[in-house]
Amino acid sequence: MSHYSVWSVLREGLRGQTGWDRAWRDPAPKSEYDVVIIGGGGHGLATAYYLAKNHGITNVAVVEKGWLGGGNTGRNTTIVRSNYVQPVSTQFYEHSVKLWENLSHDLNYNVMFSQRGQLGLFHTPAARDAQAKRVNTMLACGIEAELLNREQVMKMVPHLDYSENARFPILGAILQRRAGTARHDAVAWGFARAADKLGVDILQQTEVTGILREGGRAVGVETSRGTIRAKKVGVAVAGSTGHVMAMAGLERLPIESHKLQAFVSEPLKPLLDCVVSYGAPGSHFYISQSDKGGMVFGGDLDFYNSYAQRGNLPIVQDVAECAMAIMPCLGRVKLLRHWAGIMDMSMDGTHIMSKTPVDNLYMNAGWCYGGFKATPASGWHFADLIANDRPDDLTAAFSLDRFERGYTIDEKGMGPTPKLH
Amino acid sequence: MSGYRLDKGGLIDRSAPRSFTFDGTSYAGYEGDSLASALLANGVDVVGRGFKYHRPRGIMSAGVEEGGAILSVGSGRFREPNVKAPAQPLFDGLVARGQNAWPSVRRDIGRINDVMNRFLAAGFYYKTFFGVRGGTKDWMIFEKIIRKAAGMGAASREPDPDQYETAHASCDLLVVGSGPAGLAAAKAAAAAGRDVILAEQDFALGGSLLAQAGGIDKAVAAIEELRAAGVTLMPRTTAFGLYDGCVAGMIEQVSDDPGMHGVRQRTWIIRPREIVLATGAIEQPLAFGNNDRPGVMQASAVRTYLNRYAVAPGTRAVVATNNDSAYATAADLAAAGISVTVIDARPDGPDAPEGVKVIRDTVPVRTLGGYVLEGVEIGPLDGDGYATRRDTLACDLLAVSGGWAPVVHLTSHRGPKPVWNDTIHAFLAGPTTEPIRTCGAAAGIWDHDACIASGIAAATGAAGPEPQAGETPAMALYEIKTHGKKLKCFIDPQHDVTTDDVRLAEREGFVSIEHNKRYTTLGMATDQGKVGNILGIATMADASGRTIAETGTTTFRPPYSPISIGALAGRGTYRHFRPVRRTPLHAWNIAQGAVMTDAGLWKRPWYFPLPDESVDDAYIREMIAVRNTVGLCDVSSLGKIMVQGPDAGDFLNRVYVNGFAKLPVGKARYGVMLRDDGIVYDDGTVWRMSETDFLMTTTTANAAGVMAKLEEYLQTRWPEMKVQLTSVSDQWAGIAVAGPQCREVLQAVTSECDLSNEAFPFMGIREAKIAGADVWIARISFSGERAFEVYVRGGSSEAVMDALWDAAKPMGGVLYGTEALGALRIEKGHVAGSELDGRTSLRDLGLGGMASSKKAFIGKAMTEREGMTDPDRLQLVGVAPVDPSMRLRAGALLDTRTDLIDHGKGFITAVTDSPDLGHWIGLALVQGGLERWEGKEMTSYDPARDGNTAVRILSPHFFDPKGERMHG
Amino acid sequence: MIRITCPFCGTRDHSEFSYGGDATVDYPPLDASMDEWNAAIYRRSNPRGPHKEYWHHVNGCRAWLIVERNTLTHEVGAVTFAHPGLRKTVENSA
């Protein structure tokens, strides 16, 4: 297996790129594994990697219906941050940011995590107080954050709309300098390659058609390539959670599938050096610029249950309006592509990482808007949950039974209406 | 390349010269030219640079598939980056610049990358640049350099000065594309009396007709016919996407230079009954050595330049093809007096056109030249698809035809995956159940007459002709491989993706076409793979030993070609970004000097400053006046809902936690409603005006939400209830008259109404007349003072406000805004938005006692969940600084420790300076609430602003806790 | 643009409506048990395919509608008033 470095790139350049190995093997499924992870997205691959790395469990298969990283991992707007309000979420996402910071080295794969900072604009005095609380919470938890006034924001990004014509004035922003963006596909590929290197079998084009149960416990999966038995089964298929969990008899979950659109413009020379999010009343918008130069942005859900990975016009127009509201110079910039990902929207806006009523079956779902940034921490904690058959201190809060028990983690305070989270 | 203008012909107006500049040099063209045709006519050859290797790029096509001639047009705030020169009509004064090059596209020092190209293979950046130090520092240094080198054009940082708009239309049939098939479809449908819109992305109608010798006249005649038949013709309008319900998104380029009051582009949302896609096909390149050199062009584009623009793109041409279509290009070149040789990969083919030399069994192997094309090495293919160099042809134009790819993008937007057709070696639109039909070249029909038949069939829903291979079938030819020294064979000339990149990616395991695309960036450039996609898939198929059908294609996403963000936003920009909601008293407030603030979409008076007064000084003055004399406040933004009917009382009983069925007529009551999950949703008052008529008020923020929720309950959950809901939020204005002298103020304007405490007690409501207007008066108080709220029809509100203000002003009364309103309620311990944050329960807010135990209500069942009764829940308390000179901050955390290591035990939700108490006070949510903390000290932790402040936890009812003032 | 045919207003863009969630959920009586309420509030079948759901014609006649829609293709089938009385009126007049 080739180690990646500047030297290997130079060496292969000199010998015509003939020496590179496959990034991951294409193994035949074994008849039995210690752990089968359903879902070859970022979360499933990260789980497999940390099972091997942190827990020494290497007899693991990741079973993926299509091509790895083909779901939300490769469809999002690539933002990584930990500026949450609810304390457990802050802690969880901060752990993730810490893992992100060393992830390229850890995986020997450049996931291009760029800590270019995220500015969350606010537009009313009340919103300033709310953001101050966020800054205070983060600082109290040891996470660096700043509250900027209007002048400081102007200095940082001079070409936002500070004019009299703006419908909502920019009063200031919360800044998390350690936040930023990463290359989404590289995360899936990096985890896949690193997991493969530790012995994990990545089985692409392998569709799970059933979850085998014996006496109330999960003992394997039926797949399009035959039966695979497993001591434990982890499900990390955000977007299809209901579909897969139903195979284990869990028919009704606190999750709805919604679609979230994402947008990219034509490539441009550097125009925006940080992530900016916009929170004016009735608006939800975030934008950054990729290394290739495309402006990458997104906004609200399409607001109805959907499994179609394509968006609808009203949100396209709404997002364009938000883009113009924040950066009126984008008028002549052209949209290159828009698409949608299927989000597991949970009933409180927070993910579910939990044991299930079926023994040895574990679920990792309900990521709402947070899935991409959560990838390494999700893998880390889900691996821990599977390996030890009990949630660690942080993960306990994200249990499936929290809804019935009244311990919801409602980041936005919108209650049990998934589309509003 | 040495292009020049032909003496005659073309769809150009030679009497209308147009001047323009490219990279600072002035040139001339004609009306009807594209920027690309004008550049070619002036002999300009190098117009761009590739993304990665910065190799020179010339004009490669005559349409939106352009991969080479991508320029910036306009200057200053009018600059538009990444404009495809063939799709940009020439206009007088057009300023174009090359991009992604320094100092110019002619002499670009970025060319150094090409020397290094052996190190810059697909995905090389995933393997390096993350440095040796941990963390992200090293990567971010490299990233800065990479970002500068990447990108293409530079966008202006100034606001786009132009205007855009959105328009809507419906029709029986939308035809996309105005080539022979589209024209035929539109004609047939119009003849059948149907309402037809014909959209064409090009600035001239006619499609491929315009590229044919003699085609222009045919096109002009056909267009005239359609115009006469009443077809709506929309040139320069790109159907960028098909969405659910067969709704088409289109963008019309209205003007290149709209001036101050014109519109630059218009977004059209079309709702057709049926759609015919006559979107044509795009000629595909072949992959051979240095096939990216300026001078290499699509064969069909050469024909377009010759016939439509009367421009010869070169003086000595070679046409390389694997199919019959390029013979027409050769014939037209010969007719224009240009020396031309055809090399045909097939053993057979059409007869050589007059004056054309044809060499069969021969393919191009690599181009020769420096910046521009000087010749091509050619040779035969062996059985394994490898070519041998045998001969060299000198030329300055190499017209290439690698076959045709039907434009199936729009169908793909609807979901059907394109299906590979082995007869014509092309992807065709997948089957759809929607009323969308594809015809002409878009359906793989190449023959002119068959295209027309196909268009008519599509318009009428009849079965059309099937794709045919043609007399001499095209040869499946993609990458021309060679033994020996590696040649750079480009697939995507814009992103500089070569066949080697695709093969490397395949070797590294990126075998899914989606992986391959993402790893190599193939097809992700601004042409979205219109020219490189098939070559890439074919190379991938060859590398992995699969067929093209097995390899499949990536998904086409909207927009079909890039569209400006400004157009999509339309008029929804600047002040029109979101609607502005104004109360009926808006103008009145402004006239009184109000400073307005945003409350959601509302504009509300924030405070009414005296000259030179700050917001803090003003709101304190306003508060003092309310506490000591009287103040008036516009509260019209509150939600107001009439709840009427025999079951109205029972309905309210179910909706609110407290009882309403027994509320006496003429009385109001404060109510709180929960969500289904037992969390507090909204609060307000309900007035009983008669046995069956109630007026409910809601918070400003939830006015629409509460209305929708109540309708949901009545229509879906309790349809048996006889209740009618009417929102009167917009019809009624509300004015709070608060303060010890409120009675005197009201009495002065309503002489007939007895306002005494006995006649009009706290929570009473009365009808009255003020300034001749009918009003409802309720004795309710948000401020904690003796107070009334006066509700009046919006149209009469200014007169009523005038009367009240005339009475109040001489008494020393004030107008107060939302800042004082908020401060007064904090003194009183009334909860508002910052406490009703969607996470607090009745008990958390100290309102547990309000819940009726005698009836069930929405949310009740859930309030007994373990987590809802947990003593550690955050509960409402009051806070005051231990040192009365210190200020408090909303958003500060609370804890007993002074140095936090976690999120603390609570936080402050709202604060005010209290003139009555002489120090700052606040409301807070703290774990365990008053029971655990009353009288104890905590630290207010606010590193974001002020740092630490010692505070004491108190009852939230700071002011007049017994309510004597409001009851008095 | 999903096109929904409101029985009162005719065929309109979905942007005129507000999505109201799963219409197969049976909300129990207000005095029902916590378990019944938990099921109604938190558990969804969330199908990939045909879905019966509420849409509120919020920028139109303000009727709550039951819409049959495929969550994979967005194809809309039958649309009726959620209110049984209104439903009957339509059926009788048909």
Render pLDDT for A133-155 as a digit per residue (tens, 0 to 9): 999 999 999 999 999 999 999 99
Interface of A with B in 330-359 (CB under 8 A): 330-339
Class of domain B870-967: mainly beta
**Residue C82 distance to chain B (closest CA, Å):** 6
Q: How many other CB atoms are there within 10 angstroms of residue C85's CB atom? A: 10
Q: Given this model, what pLDDT does residue B111 score? A: 82
Among C19, C41, C65, C69, most B C-beta atoms within 10 A, so best to mutate, is C41
Q: Given this model, what pLDDT does residue B492 score? A: 94
What is the distance in angstroms between the CA of the first residue and the CA of the last residue of chain A?
Answer: 43
Q: Do B716 and C23 touch (CB under 8 A)?
A: yes
Reported confidence tier of residue B258, pLDDT bands at 50, 70, 90: confident
Cβ neighbors of C88 (< 8 A, separation 6 or more) are none
Mean pLDDT confidence for A380-407 = 97
Alpha helices in B192-312 (DSSP H): 215-228, 299-307
Q: Do C3 and B244 touch (CB under 8 A)?
A: yes
Reported confidence tier of residue B529, pLDDT bands at 50, 70, 90: confident
In chain B, the percentage of residues whose pLDDT exceeds 70 is 100
Q: What is the DSSP string of A57-110?
A: ---EEEE-SSSTT-SGGGTS--EE----SSHHHHHHHHHHHHHHHTHHHHHTS-
* pLDDT tens per residue across span A189-198: 999 999 999 9
> Is residue B103 reached through a cis peptide bond, with omega within 30 degrees of 0 on the bond before it?
yes
* Residue B752 reports pLDDT greater than 90: no
Edge to edge, the sheet with strand B631-634 lists B765-770, B773-778, B787-793, B732-738, B631-634, B814-815
Among A207, A243, A255, A306, most C C-beta atoms within 10 A, so best to mutate, is A306
Q: Given this model, what pLDDT does residue A1 score? A: 57
Q: Do B862 and C64 touch (CB under 8 A)?
A: no
* Residue C94 reports pLDDT greater than 80: no
Alpha-carbon gap, residue B410 to A85, rounded angstroms: 42
Output phi, psi for B208, to 5 deg.
-70, -15
* Residue C93 reports pLDDT greater than 80: no
A403 chain-C contacts, CB cut-off 8 A: 38, 41-42
* Residue B338 reports pLDDT greater than 80: yes
* pLDDT tens per residue across span B824-873: 999 999 999 999 999 999 999 999 999 999 999 999 999 999 999 999 99
Class of domain C3-26+35-91: alpha beta
* pLDDT tens per residue across span B573-605: 999 999 999 999 999 999 999 999 999 999 999
Q: How many other CB atoms are there within 10 angstroms of residue B831's CB atom? A: 23
Nearest by CB to residue A110, choosing from B125, B152, B157, is B125
Class of domain B581-637+731-824: alpha beta
A163 Cβ under 8 Å from any chain B Cβ? yes
Domain covering B485-546: architecture: Orthogonal Bundle (1.10)
Every domain of chain B with CATH number 3.30.1360.120 lies at 581-637+731-824
Every domain of chain B with CATH number 2.40.30.110 lies at 870-967
Every domain of chain B with CATH number 1.10.10 lies at 485-546
- Residue bearing tokens 């905590």: B938
Element housing B703 (H / E): helix B703-712
Partners of B128 in beta bridges: none
What is the fold of B639-727? Answer: Alpha-Beta Plaits (3.30.70)
Reported confidence tier of residue B528, pLDDT bands at 50, 70, 90: confident
Q: Given this model, what pLDDT does residue B548 score? A: 96
Reported confidence tier of residue B96, pLDDT bands at 50, 70, 90: very high
Which of B127-136, B285-294, B635-644, C68-77 bottoms out in mean pLDDT, i.e. has the lowest? Answer: B127-136
Reported confidence tier of residue B197, pLDDT bands at 50, 70, 90: very high
Q: How many other CB atoms are there within 10 angstroms of residue C84's CB atom? A: 13
Q: Given this model, what pLDDT does residue B237 score? A: 98
* Residue B1 reports pLDDT greater than 60: no
**Phi-psi bin for B947: left (phi > 0), alpha (psi -120 to 50), beta?**
left
C41 Cβ under 8 Å from any chain A Cβ? yes
What is the fold of B163-281+406-460? Answer: FAD/NAD(P)-binding domain (3.50.50)
A255 chain-C contacts, CB cut-off 8 A: 44, 46
C-alpha distances in Å from residue A197, one per residue of A54, A58, A110: 14, 10, 16
Q: What is the DSSP string of B859-884?
A: TGGGGGSGGGS-TTSEEEEEEEESST
* pLDDT tens per residue across span B602-632: 999 999 999 999 999 999 999 999 999 999 9
What is the fold of B4-114? Answer: Ubiquitin-like (UB roll) (3.10.20)
Mean pLDDT confidence for B687-711 = 97
Partners of B645 in beta bridges: none
Q: Do A347 and C2 touch (CB under 8 A)?
A: no
Cβ neighbors of B486 (< 8 A, separation 6 or more) are A16, B500
Alpha-carbon gap, residue B627 to B741, rounded angstroms: 9
The mean pLDDT of chain B is 96
Domain ranges in chain C are 3-26+35-91
Nearest by CB to residue C64, choosing from B415, B676, B715, is B715
ipTM: 0.98
A313 chain-C contacts, CB cut-off 8 A: 1
The mean pLDDT of chain A is 96
In chain A, the percentage of residues whose pLDDT exceeds 70 is 100
Mean pLDDT confidence for B199-210 = 97
